[in-house]
Structure formats: structure tokens, C-alpha cells
């Protein structure tokens, strides 16, 4: 099975804790803990405009701030099976989905790193979000309650800002539904490789996006 940790700073929280216990520890710990979910389906090893911009923002976090980076296309994520109106319950996930659940519960701040695909989010991010519907229905798991204590942000790029608006609206509504704090979006002008590096406004915004 492929591992979920992507290149970057390792998650400093032990993974043996269950998600409920991890959430309690995160609430007790005042130090922010960031989860970055990269979602581009570019070839392995390619650093796209969106991830480059996200890493510029992450580099401005105070030294020692825990960061976890997971590349969703590298994970084994089954399609969500909707049984909300049949059994109405789901078992605790296993494998990479359990890794993602634990990382989600441990984080105080979640950052979606998602380029615009067809005016929307990349497919791996949609699958991850679909599984939130399952995690809200795992017996004994206070998923929705804990999500309300977190901040959700979006880093994205596209050819022009208007094309990103449907995605931005979707992520903002997801945060609203979960009663999360929405920390806003960092948009940059993408397109061909390295195009965002010429977007001086986006690069300047990245310097304060995660710390303002």
C-alpha cells in the first residue's frame, strides 16, 4: 500500500493515538498544527504552480510549527458509498483512509492545495470530502464537533480569477456546513509551469496568508 506522507516536513504527532484522543490532545495544545492536502494529478515529482505557492506560504510559519503534507492522488482512497439512509453508520476507516482521518483530527488548520480543474476541485479532493459524510457517522467519533474547532483554507491557481470562483464558493460552503472557521483563499495566476512565480501579488499574499 502506498504511504500518504508527501515530501516536506514530517508530521510530528505520533500516529498510534485514536482520532478522538488525538482531537482532545489537539484541543489542549495551543500550538497550531497544519495539515496540507495536495491534490494535483500531475505526474509524480512535478511541482505545480499551486503547490509551489502553498509551500511559499508554509515557509512563513514560525519555526517548529508542526506540518503534515499528504498527496491525495498517492493514497488508496475508495469511492464513498452512500449508506446514510440505509444503515446510517460507517465503521472506523482502515489503511490510508485511517491515516487521513487521524491527520484531519490532529490538525488545527487544514489547507487544501488544489488547482482549478474544470471550474472545480480535483477528483482526489472530492473523494476525500465525500468521506467526511462517512466520518460524521462513525459511532463514537466526534468528527463534526471537532471540525468546528478548526480553520479551513484554500490555495489554488487558474488562468484567471473568475474561473476559480466556483471552487472557492464550494470550499467556503463546506467550511460553513461544518461550522469551521474559513480562513480564506490564496489565488495565483497559473497555467504553464512556474507561471505563478511571476504573480507578484500572489507571492506577496503568501507571506501572510497562514499567519495573519
Cβ distance 144 to 176 under 8 Å?
A: no
**Of the candidates 54, 50, 154, the residue with the CA atom closest to the CA atom of residue 110:** 154
Average pLDDT in the 117-140 region? Answer: 97
**Of the candidates 123, 135, 60, the residue with the CA atom closest to the CA atom of residue 94:** 135
The answer to whether position 1 is within a domain reads: no
d(CA 212, CA 205): 10
Edge-to-edge strand ranges of the sheet holding 67-71: 67-71, 34-38, 109-113, 151-158, 181-189
Q: What percent of the chain has pLDDT over 70?
A: 86
The answer to whether position 98 is within a domain reads: yes
Chain position carrying cell 452512500: 82
The CATH number of the domain holding residue 193 is 3.40.50.360
Domain that holds residue 62: 19-209
| Contacts within 8 Å (CB) and 24+ apart, 46-51 | 46/193, 48/115, 48/157, 48/190, 48/193, 49/115, 49/157, 49/188, 49/190, 49/191, 49/193, 49/194, 49/195, 49/196, 50/113, 50/114, 50/115, 50/155, 50/156, 50/157, 50/188, 50/190, 50/196, 51/113
Confidence of residue 51 (pLDDT cuts 50, 70, 90): very high
The answer to whether position 10 is within a domain reads: no
User: What's the total number of domains in the chain?
Assistant: 1
The answer to whether position 11 is within a domain reads: no
Q: What is the pLDDT of residue 10?
A: 37
The answer to whether position 68 is within a domain reads: yes
pTM of this structure: 0.85
The answer to whether position 102 is within a domain reads: yes
Q: What is the pLDDT of residue 6?
A: 33
**16, pLDDT greater than 50:** no
The per-residue pLDDT for range 182-204, each reduced to its tens digit, is 999 999 999 899 999 999 999 99
- Joined grid coordinates for residue 160: 484567471
Q: What is the pLDDT of residue 14?
A: 39
The per-residue pLDDT for range 144-162, each reduced to its tens digit, is 999 999 999 999 999 999 9
The answer to whether position 6 is within a domain reads: no
Confidence of residue 46 (pLDDT cuts 50, 70, 90): confident
Least confident of 9-13, 79-83, 161-165: 9-13
Q: What is the pLDDT of residue 44?
A: 77
The answer to whether position 8 is within a domain reads: no
Amino acid at each position: 500500500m502506498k504511504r500518504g506522507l508527501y515530501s516536506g516536513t514530517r508530521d510530528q504527532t505520533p500516529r498510534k493515538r485514536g482520532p478522538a484522543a488525538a482531537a482532545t490532545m489537539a484541543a489542549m495544545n495551543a500550538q497550531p498544527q497544519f495539515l496540507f492536502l495536495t491534490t494535483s494529478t500531475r505526474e509524480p515529482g512535478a511541482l505545480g504552480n499551486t503547490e509551489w505557492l502553498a509551500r511559499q506560504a508554509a515557509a512563513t510559519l514560525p519555526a517548529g510549527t508542526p506540518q503534515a503534507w499528504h498527496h491525495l492522488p498517492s493514497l488508496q482512497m475508495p469511492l464513498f458509498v452512500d449508506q446514510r439512509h440505509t444503515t446510517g453508520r460507517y465503521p472506523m476507516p482502515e489503511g490510508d483512509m485511517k491515516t487521513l482521518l487521524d491527520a484531519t483530527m490532529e490538525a488545527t488548520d487544514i489547507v487544501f492545495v488544489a488547482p482549478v480543474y474544470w471550474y472545480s476541485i480535483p477528483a482526489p479532493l472530492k473523494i476525500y470530502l465525500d468521506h467526511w459524510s462517512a466520518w460524521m457517522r462513525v459511532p463514537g467519533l466526534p468528527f463534526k464537533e471537532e471540525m468546528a474547532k478548526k480553520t479551513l483554507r484554500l490555495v489554488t491557481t487558474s488562468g484567471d480569477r473568475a474561473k476559480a470562483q466556483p471552487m472557492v464558493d464550494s470550499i467556503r460552503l463546506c467550511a460553513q456546513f461544518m461550522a469551521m472557521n474559513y480562513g480564506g483563499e490564496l489565488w495565483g495566476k497559473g497555467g504553464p509551469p512556474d507561471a505563478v512565480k511571476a504573480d507578484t501579488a500572489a507571492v506577496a499574499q503568501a507571506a501572510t496568508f497562514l499567519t495573519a
